[in-house]
Amino acid sequence: MRLGVLDVGSNSVHLLVVDAHYGAAPVPAHSHKIELRLAENSKRNGNDKVEIAPKTVDKLSAFVDSALKVAEDQGVTEILTFATSAIREAENGDQVLDIVAEQTGLSIEVLDGVDEARLTYLAARRWYGWSSGRITMFDIGGGSLEIATGVDEDPDVAESMPLGAGHLTREFLSNDPPTDQEVKELRKHIRAEVAHHVGPITKYGQPQLAVASSKTFRQLARVTGAAPSAEGIFVPRDLKRRDLKKWLPKLTDMTAKERSKIPGVSENRAQQLVAGALVADAVMELFDVPVLSVCPWALREGVILRRLDGISE
């Protein structure tokens, strides 16, 4: 069957078209994407709550409408939808999705953070297989950090915390490059939050495999020497803690423009890379992980796999 997966994320909105069958790996067939930056295009109202701006809602509706046309042209028979932290955390998130549904006819499901962690973990488990033993999965998104660990397809525990690279950049790093004090305060904040979740996760035991998912981890791996994406998804890639520590002071001293010139760093993500690197450094140290294997599959693939599992039941 040909499925479409519409992912409304903090940084981008992405329609991925895949050929998918139960018992087989989903194969990407087409991609349609926009860097909408929902979280950045939100504002605080009088109650200090975040709201997505009306013009951004219009852009989201227009993109969803175009995605539906692309899906039809590509022969998609079913569209799976999900929205993550940008919609989840916005006070008007439900209203935004109601407007999109009214204007386009497509209802978009909001995933909570724990569901994000569980589905991303499922994707990692399927990618690496049973022989990998206990897996602990880390995923840095634009708005949140997800962690899950387990030996089966359902994790023993899944956690979500508001430590996304985009969210932290907006809250803590107002200068370009960031000041030493900004970096110090952000580092302290991240480590205090992550440390709170270490015990509930590590009590299940150390993983045989520590896995990183998300574009932030992929870019950090590329910065520290991993193979470029052009070499394909089957090339093993990893992020070593010692390499990340060498790069952290370099990244914090650079402007976003300078970071965007590093091979593997996109212009759209360069601003967030310092915050993402600080989160990665914190989880690797606090969870005592010297190396993270970078998984090509993430939340979208987890959503697809869960849908295919439903077909078999």
Give a yes or no: residue 49 inside a domain: yes
**289 lies in some domain:** yes
Single-letter amino acid, residue 290: P
Tell me if 36 is assigned to some domain. yes
Under 8 Å between Cβ of 58 and 49: no
Residue 5 has pLDDT above 80, yes or no: yes
Same domain, 13 and 105: yes
C-beta separation of 152 from 124 below 8 A: no
What pLDDT score was predicted for residue 77? 95
If asked whether residues 73 and 192 sit together in one domain, one would say no
Residue type, 313: E
Same domain for 173 and 202? Answer: yes
Buried b (16+ CB within 10 A) or exposed e, 185-211: ebbebbbebbeebeeebbeeeebebbb
Q: Are residues 153 and 277 in the same domain?
A: yes
pLDDT, position 264:
92
What pLDDT shows up at residue 312?
56
* Residue ranges making up the domain that contains 93: 2-110
Q: Which of 110, 137, 156 is the last residue of a domain?
A: 110
Tell me: do 59 and 32 sit in the same domain.
yes
> In the listed set 80, 110, 140, which residue is the last one of a domain according to the structure?
110
* Percent of the chain at pLDDT exceeding 90: 88
**Mean per-residue pLDDT for 236-240?**
97
Domain tally, the chain? 2
In a domain, 257, yes or no: yes
136/102 same-domain check:
no
Average pLDDT, integer, range 289-310: 95
Which of 62, 82, 110 is the last residue in one of the domains? 110
Q: Predicted confidence band at 39 (pLDDT cuts at 50, 70, 90)?
A: confident
User: What CATH number is attached to the domain comprising 35?
Assistant: 3.30.420.40
Query: pLDDT for 43-79, tens place per residue?
Result: 666 566 789 989 999 999 999 999 999 999 999 999 9
Strand partners, 30: 17
Is 105 in the same domain as 249?
A: no
> 66 and 140, same structural domain?
no
Does residue 313 surpass a pLDDT of 60? Answer: no
The answer as to whether 188 is a domain residue is: yes
* pLDDT band with cut points at 50, 70 and 90 for residue 40: confident
Question: What digits encode the pLDDT tens for the residues 113-133?
Answer: 999 999 999 999 999 999 999
Note the pTM of the prediction, 2 decimals: 0.94
* Phi, psi angles (nearest 5°) of residue 227: -65, 145
Spatial CB neighbours of 47, under 8 Å, sequence gap ≥ 6 = 91
In a domain, 312, yes or no: no
Looking at the structure, tell me whether residues 227 and 270 fall in a common domain.
Answer: yes
User: What stretches of the chain show up as alpha helix (H) in DSSP?
Assistant: 54-73, 85-89, 93-104, 113-128, 165-172, 180-202, 215-223, 241-253, 256-259, 273-286, 299-312
